[in-house]
Chains A and B, each alone.
Chain A
Amino acid sequence: MTLLGRRSAIVLLLVGVLLWFVWSRTVQPQPPLMRTALIMGTLVEIRVYDQAGGEAEADVNAAFAEMRRVEQLFSSAIPSSEVVRLSAATGPLEVDAETARVLKTGLRIAHSSAGAFDMTLGRVKALWGIETDHPRIPSESELSAALVGVGPDSLQVVGQLVSKARPNLVLELGGIAKGYAVDRAVELLQRKGIRSAAVNAGGDIRLLGDRQGEPWRIGIQHPRRADDVLLTLPLVNRAVVTSGDYERFFERDGVRYHHIFDPGTGRPARGCQSVTVIAADAMTADALATAAFVLGPVKGLALLQGEKDVEGLLVAADGRILKTAGLK
Chain B
Amino acid sequence: MRERMKLFSWLRYATPLDRKLLLAVAILVAVSFALPLRREDGAQVIATVQDRVVFKAPLNIDRTVDLQGPLGTTVLQIAAGKVRILSSPCRNKTCVHMGEVHQDGDVLACLPNKLVVHVESKTLAGKTGHDFVSR
Residues on A facing B (Cβ under 8 Å): 3, 7, 10-11, 14-15, 18-19, 21-22, 25-26, 36-38, 43, 45, 47, 133, 198, 200, 202-205, 211, 216-221, 226-229, 232, 240-242, 244, 246-247, 276
Question: Known contacts being A15-B21, A221-B124, is A7 close to B130, with CB within 8 Å?
Answer: no
Q: How many A-B residue pairs have CB under 8 A?
A: 98
Q: Mark the stretch among B23-31, B85-93, B96-104, B107-115 that contacts chain A.
A: B23-31
Residues of chain B within 8 A of A38, CB atoms compared: 61, 63
Known: A7-B10, A26-B32. Contact between A211 and B131, CB under 8 A?
A: yes
Q: Which of B18, B61, B63, B133 contacts A221 (CB 8 A)?
A: B133
Q: In this complex, what residue of A is CB-closest to B28?
A: A22
Selected from A19, A47, A240, the residue in CB contact (under 8 A) with B134 is A240
B63 touches A226 (CB 8 A): no
Restricting to B41-64, which residues have a CB under 8 Å from any CB of A? 53, 57-58, 60-61, 63
Shortest distance in angstroms between B10's beta carbon and chain A's nearest beta carbon? Answer: 6
Given the complex of chains A and B, what is the CA–CA distance between A205 and B131 in angstroms?
Answer: 11
Give chain A nearest CB distance to B50 CB in angstroms: 11
| Residues in chain B within 8 A of chain A (CB atoms) | 10, 13-14, 18, 21-22, 25-26, 28-29, 32-33, 35-36, 53, 57-58, 60-61, 63, 68, 124-125, 127-135
Known: A38-B61, A217-B130, A221-B133. A22 touches B29 (CB 8 A): yes
Give 26 A-B contacts (CB < 8 Å), ordered by A residue: A7-B10, A7-B14, A11-B18, A15-B21, A18-B26, A22-B25, A22-B29, A22-B32, A26-B32, A36-B58, A38-B63, A45-B132, A198-B132, A203-B134, A203-B135, A216-B132, A217-B129, A218-B130, A219-B133, A220-B133, A221-B124, A228-B128, A229-B128, A240-B134, A242-B134, A242-B135
A276 to B133 alpha-carbon distance, docked (Å): 11
The answer on a CB contact under 8 Å between A229 and B133 is yes
By beta carbon, the residue of chain A nearest B31 is A22
- Taken together as a complex, chains A and B put the C-alpha atoms of A54 and B127 apart, in Å, by 30
Which of A11, A205, A240, A242 interacts with B22 by CB under 8 Å? A11
CB contact under 8 A between A21 and B29, given known A3-B13, A11-B18, A219-B128: yes
Min C-beta distance of B80 to chain A, whole Å: 15
Rounded to whole Å, the gap between the CB of A162 and the closest CB of chain B is 31
Docked CA distance A240–B28 (Å): 46
